């Protein structure tokens, strides 16, 4: 009966899925069917009655991966998977801490700080202690605290010999006290608290150890020290830990990921064997050969060689441009050709770069050429200012001691509570050792500001009263209404998007109640607020339109595309300057390049430019060393198709290695909206337009696509960004 589950698996995949009850490391190469193995393993355990859904714990890094796993599992098994413990490290810890909040010494409705909130909390702390934030930048303090927590250290565990570090440790301690007082918990704290809870409380630990006989971990190479120890603690001696990962795709060392965990796993978890998944179902041969050859240059690998039963496929195309502009022109041309002549969907083409700053030239050219594109990264839904404000009201209703939330909205929208009043309030609360809310409701501040404060306290208290027992969506609606946030944004020009987002928040609450709630088994407001912190939402509202995918190489991990462009392959950019210091840095960059290459199914372009505008200066970069580390026989130097290479330069022809002397795009070619070039939103860069209020102007920039296009226009009165959706623009 398990045959249908196992059908179509290759021998290694099958071996992994059907392993006996023991810990094992699965080295899963790019495109080797990792997620399939993971989910099939779970289904297999359940179907063969080696475990019930109750006995399984599966950990991922992103909510997306967790959701994907649940979806696939639901398709494989005739059971309700929604109650299963499948989630992110942070999500699962949150669940545990909510269940055992008393043992964890937390208020029932503790709130979760995202990085933004945490930084704000630190700034506040520094201010209250009168500490110079020049000498102790909040960012560094935050980093100090988080990296220590991620190493499992509390302030009390640390010692220092220099006064500077001693001060940092004091700040660490003071920060934790502040959080405890306010009933808030940051991301690292979520894990550390949970770890401490389990290690301190033996009964609880044994309970979960007995329950989770099978623990499965995705992206194991990305675990940090604390996550590793958490797994080790929870697994105990009996559990079988199924760790899936790829050391060659470890690209998050900079944020604490420790590849060493993979090497130590065998010893610490008594793993009997390592299973290698090396058959790649994604890419053609040349692409894999390039990837294999590149990654071979790294030391201390666990070792792995990808292969495919498909053919070699096309050579990898290498293009050298004279400038970043020319590079972008080339890419735009090739994308159009792929789309028009080969019928490739734009959404099946990715444009990758090392750092976000590189997207701007590319976007500019794409917009001008009328190629729809979507940029990944940037602000996400729950990170937007207006949403944060709304959430702060909600947080205050759930927990009045949340000073961060209090300060965020006490005078937003403006209600006559100035900096002076707030200072007085803070002094009073500090003196009395109570929260801002308590101080305010106790009438700690007198005068006009004091009266306004009373009104605010009253507003929140009323809202709290009025929303008791209301369904989540109605609760949110009510709070939005009394906060007057929407009115505020409606009254100010150019903020209509914020109004839309606030209305969308009500939908998000309704959706949460319907879908997520049963899965997370954390109810009501606290659940929704956790959800908002732990899952910040989509980067951009997907317009659903077929669009070229622009993103950093980091963001591309786990994805695949028919065609991939890796741009900016220059020394200093990719590999990045700041990786030159240590050998590990370069190795991580190389792994990054490995990730980039292995995203491509059929076609891969590697491009670099001799000169590039960076930080307002022209930089001249040599071709990336990674280009030279690739086997030359899988590469093909290309020029542009639409404008042949200047033959007088091209002494060597097209195929002598990857170097080419293309000068084809050097010439100006300012705008070419003539013949067949479609133009986004009916406008193009350089075009003269007229606006009712600002008069005549010229389009000098753009961003977004579809119904989200914004144009940068230089008017006599100055340069403005206008949304095509709202601004009335006419060609002039």
Residue 223 binding DNA, by CB under 7 A: no
Q: How far is the CB of 418 from DNA (least distance, A)?
A: 6
Task: Order the strands of the 56-60 sheet from edge to edge.
Answer: 85-88, 56-60, 214-217, 240-245, 24-28, 273-277
Tell me if 150 sits within 8 A of 225, measured CB to CB.
yes
Catalytic (active site) residue 219: yes
Q: How far is the CB of 384 from DNA (least distance, A)?
A: 12
Q: Which of 39, 63, 249, 598 binds DNA (CB under 7 A)?
A: 63
Q: Which of 535, 597, 606, 658 binds DNA (CB under 7 A)?
A: 535
Q: How far is the CB of 584 from DNA (least distance, A)?
A: 10
How far apart, in whole angstroms, are the C-alpha atoms of residue 349 and residue 603? 9
The one catalytic residue among 34, 41, 282, 388: 34
Residue 167 binding DNA, by CB under 7 A: no
Catalytic (active site) residue 123: no
Tell me if 710 sits within 8 A of 702, measured CB to CB.
yes
Nearest in space to 719 (alpha carbons), one of 689, 682, 680:
689
Task: Order the strands of the 718-723 sheet from edge to edge.
Answer: 718-723, 710-715, 695-703, 688-691, 729-731
Catalytic (active site) residue 35: yes
- Contact segment (CB under 7 A) with DNA among 234-242, 355-363, 469-477, 541-549 equals 355-363
Residue 536 binding DNA, by CB under 7 A: yes
The 583-602 site mask, x for binding DNA (CB under 7 A), equals --x--xx-------------
How far apart, in whole angstroms, are the C-alpha atoms of residue 297 and residue 544? 41
How far apart, in whole angstroms, are the C-alpha atoms of residue 423 and residue 348? 54
C-alpha dihedral, 94 to 98 to 104 to 110, nearest 10°? 90
Residue 418 binding DNA, by CB under 7 A: yes
Residue 513 binding DNA, by CB under 7 A: no
Residue 115 binding DNA, by CB under 7 A: yes
Catalytic (active site) residue 599: yes
- Contact segment (CB under 7 A) with DNA among 60-68, 303-311, 386-394, 722-730 equals 60-68
Residue 613 binding DNA, by CB under 7 A: yes
Work out the end-to-end distance of the chain between its first and last CA atoms, rounded to an integer number of angstroms. Answer: 71
Q: Which of 529, 534, 564, 709 binds DNA (CB under 7 A)?
A: 534
Residue 35 binding DNA, by CB under 7 A: no
- Contact segment (CB under 7 A) with DNA among 261-269, 350-358, 441-449, 671-679 equals 350-358
Of 53 and 585, the one with the shorter C-beta distance to DNA is 585
DSSP state letter for 706: G
Q: Which of 154, 360, 714, 725 binds DNA (CB under 7 A)?
A: 360
Q: Which of 80, 140, 545, 578 binds DNA (CB under 7 A)?
A: 578
Residue 576 binding DNA, by CB under 7 A: yes
Entry field: residues in the chain? 732
DSSP 3-state of 637? strand
The one catalytic residue among 124, 229, 388, 599: 599
How far apart, in whole angstroms, are the C-alpha atoms of residue 712 and residue 120? 32
Peptide bond into 697 cis (omega under 30): no
Q: How far is the CB of 132 from DNA (least distance, A)?
A: 11
The secondary structure element, H or E, covering residue 85 is strand 85-88
> CB-based burial of residue 328 (10 Å sphere; 0-12 exposed, 13-18 middle, 19+ buried)?
buried
Q: Which of 180, 305, 355, 484 binds DNA (CB under 7 A)?
A: 355
The one catalytic residue among 186, 218, 327, 570: 218
How far apart, in whole angstroms, are the C-alpha atoms of residue 364 and residue 674? 18
Nearest in space to 541 (alpha carbons), one of 317, 424, 374, 428:
374
Tell me if 599 sits within 8 A of 350, measured CB to CB.
yes
> CB-based burial of residue 648 (10 Å sphere; 0-12 exposed, 13-18 middle, 19+ buried)?
exposed
Q: Which of 54, 135, 255, 672 binds DNA (CB under 7 A)?
A: 255
How far apart, in whole angstroms, are the C-alpha atoms of residue 242 and residue 627? 36
Residue 356 binding DNA, by CB under 7 A: yes
DSSP state letter for 270: T
Residue 88 binding DNA, by CB under 7 A: yes
Structure-block tokens of residue 384: 């937007």
User: What residues between 538 and 567 interact with DNA by CB under 7 A?
Assistant: 551-552, 554-555
In the block, which residue shows the tokens 């903020």? 495
Of 185 and 275, the one with the shorter C-beta distance to DNA is 185
Of 94 and 662, the one with the shorter C-beta distance to DNA is 94
Residue 62 binding DNA, by CB under 7 A: yes
Q: For binding to DNA (CB under 7 A), which residues are involved?
A: 61-64, 88-91, 114-115, 187, 251-252, 254-255, 354-357, 360, 377, 411, 414-416, 418, 492, 534-536, 551-552, 554-555, 576, 578-579, 585, 588-589, 613, 615-616
Residues known to be catalytic: 34-35, 218-219, 249, 599
């Amino acid at each position: 009966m398990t045959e249908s589950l196992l059908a179509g698996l290759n021998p290694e995949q099958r071996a992994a899925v059907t392993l006996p009850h023991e810990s094992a490391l699965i080295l899963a190469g790019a495109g080797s069917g990792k997620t399939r193995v993971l989910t099939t393993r779970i289904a297999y355990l359940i179907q063969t009655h080696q475990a019930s859904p109750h006995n399984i714990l599966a950990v991922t890094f992103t909510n997306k991966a967790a959701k994907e796993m649940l979806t696939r599992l639901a398709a494989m098994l005739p059971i309700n998977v929604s109650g299963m413990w499948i989630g992110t490290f942070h999500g699962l810890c949150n669940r545990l801490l909510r269940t055992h909040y008393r043992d964890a010494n937390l208020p029932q409705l503790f709130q979760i700080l995202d990085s933004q909130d945490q930084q704000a909390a630190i700034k506040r702390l520094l201010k209250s202690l009168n500490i110079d934030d020049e000498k102790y930048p909040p960012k560094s303090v935050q980093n100090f605290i988080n990296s220590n927590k991620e190493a499992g250290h509390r302030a009390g565990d640390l010692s220092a010999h220099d006064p500077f570090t001693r001060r940092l440790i004091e700040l660490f301690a003071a920060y934790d006290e502040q959080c405890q007082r306010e009933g808030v918990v940051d991301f690292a704290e979520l894990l550390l608290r949970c770890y401490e809870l389990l290690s301190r409380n033996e009964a609880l630990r044994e309970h979960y150890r007995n329950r989770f006989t099978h623990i499965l971990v995705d992206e194991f190479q990305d675990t940090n020290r604390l996550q590793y120890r958490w797994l080790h603690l929870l697994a105990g001696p009996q559990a079988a830990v199924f760790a899936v990962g790829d050391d060659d795709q470890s690209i998050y060392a900079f944020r604490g990921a420790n590849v060493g965990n993979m090497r130590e796993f065998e010893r610490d978890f008594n793993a009997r064997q390592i299973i290698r998944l090396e058959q790649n179902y994604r890419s053609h041969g040349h692409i894999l050969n390039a990837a294999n050859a590149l990654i071979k240059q790294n030391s201390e690998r666990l070792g792995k060689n990808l292969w495919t039963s498909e053919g070699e496929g096309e050579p990898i195309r290498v293009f050298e441009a004279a400038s970043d502009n020319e590079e972008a022109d080339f890419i735009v041309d090739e994308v159009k050709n792929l789309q028009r002549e080969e019928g490739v969907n734009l959404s099946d083409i990715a444009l990758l770069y090392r750092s976000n700053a590189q997207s701007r030239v590319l976007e500019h050219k794409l917009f001008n050429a009328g190629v729809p594109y979507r940029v990944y990264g940037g602000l996400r839904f729950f990170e937007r200012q207006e949403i944060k404000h709304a959430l702060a009201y909600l947080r205050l209703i759930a927990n009045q001691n949340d000073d961060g939330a209090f300060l965020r909205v006490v005078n937003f929208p403006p209600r006559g509570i100035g900096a002076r009043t707030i200072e007085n309030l803070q002094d009073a609360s500090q003196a009395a050792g109570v929260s801002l809310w308590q101080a305010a409701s106790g009438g700690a501040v007198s005068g006009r500001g004091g009266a306004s404060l009373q009104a605010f306290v009253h507003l929140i208290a009323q809202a709290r009263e009025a929303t008791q027992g209301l369904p989540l969506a109605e609760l949110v609606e009510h709070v939005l209404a009394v906060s007057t946030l929407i009115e505020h944004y409606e009254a100010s020009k150019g903020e209509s998007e914020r109004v839309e987002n606030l209305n969308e928040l009500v939908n998000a609450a309704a959706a949460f109640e319907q879908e997520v709630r049963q899965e997370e088994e954390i109810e009501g407001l606290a659940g929704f607020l956790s959800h908002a912190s732990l899952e910040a939402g989509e980067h951009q509202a997907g317009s659903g339109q077929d669009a070229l995918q622009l993103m950093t190489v980091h963001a591309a991990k786990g994805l695949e595309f028919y065609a991939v462009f890796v741009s900016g392959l220059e020394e200093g950019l990719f590999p990045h300057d700041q990786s030159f210091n240590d050998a590990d840095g370069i190795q991580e960059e190389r792994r990054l390049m490995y990730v980039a290459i292995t995203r491509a199914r059929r076609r891969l372009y590697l491009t670099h430019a001799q000169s590039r505008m960076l930080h307002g200066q022209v930089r001249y970069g040599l071709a990336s060393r990674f280009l030279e580390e690739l086997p030359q026989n899988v590469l093909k130097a290309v020029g542009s198709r639409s404008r042949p290479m200047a033959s007088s330069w091209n002494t060597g022809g097209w195929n002598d290695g990857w170097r080419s002397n293309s000068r084809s795009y050097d010439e100006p070619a300012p705008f070419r909206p003539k013949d067949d070039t479609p133009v986004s939103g009916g406008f193009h860069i350089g075009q003269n337009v007229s606006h009712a209020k600002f008069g005549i102007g010229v389009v000098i920039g753009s961003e977004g696509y579809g119904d989200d296009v914004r144009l940068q226009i230089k008017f006599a009165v100055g340069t403005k960004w206008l949304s095509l959706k709202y601004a009335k623009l006419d060609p002039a």
